[in-house]
Copies of this chain bind each other. A is one copy, B any other.
Amino acid sequence: MRPPAPKANVMGRAVDVPVTLKIALPRVPGIELVALQGLEHLARHLGIAADKVGEARIIVTEAIINAFEHSGPDTTEVRVEFTMTADELTIFVRDSGRGFDPKTMVERPSVTSRGMPSRRGWGMKLMRSLSDGFEISSGKRGTTITITKRLS
């Protein structure tokens, strides 16, 4: 995925060596903020532009809240993994919950019959819109979403 040519360094840091941060989050309100903090720390280290980081923040937030909200009450842990270079971010978010069939998932209408935006059903749309690659693998043993985002 990464380009083979060595990259310029940002202030002496080797920005072409991927850094990986892995977190297993417990079901605690707002715990996704800890993952966001990790994301922002890596991004600052690699000198990523603020707009890219802001978009990644939305993706990560939506992925984690979906995992806790939809995987079932037995899910006590959601695993998150960021792999980042100056060029690209890969995000994994995994739960071991009830799963769903992304193909038959009825993408809810994004407007109601009155023409207003729907209240819910925005997570998938936001993640897709703000990323460059979006894959779901889901089954009885849980759901993993893998998202890639270009950062340069």
Which residues from chain A sit less than 8 Å from chain B, CB to CB?
19-31, 33-34, 37-38, 41-42, 45, 77
A24 smallest CB distance to B (angstroms):
4
Pick from B19, B25, B27, B37: contact of A26, CB under 8 Å:
B19
Q: Are the C-beta atoms of A25 and B30 separated by less than 8 Å?
A: no
Task: Tell me the dominant secondary structure on chain A's binding face.
Answer: mixed
A84 CB to closest chain B CB (Å) equals 9
In order of increasing CB-CB distance, the 3 nearest A-B pairs are A22-B24, A19-B26, A34-B38
The residue from B24, B37, B42 contacting A21, defined by CB atoms under 8 A apart: B24
Pairwise interchain contact A23-B21, C-beta atoms closer than 8 A: yes
Q: Is the CB of B34 within 8 A of A30?
A: no
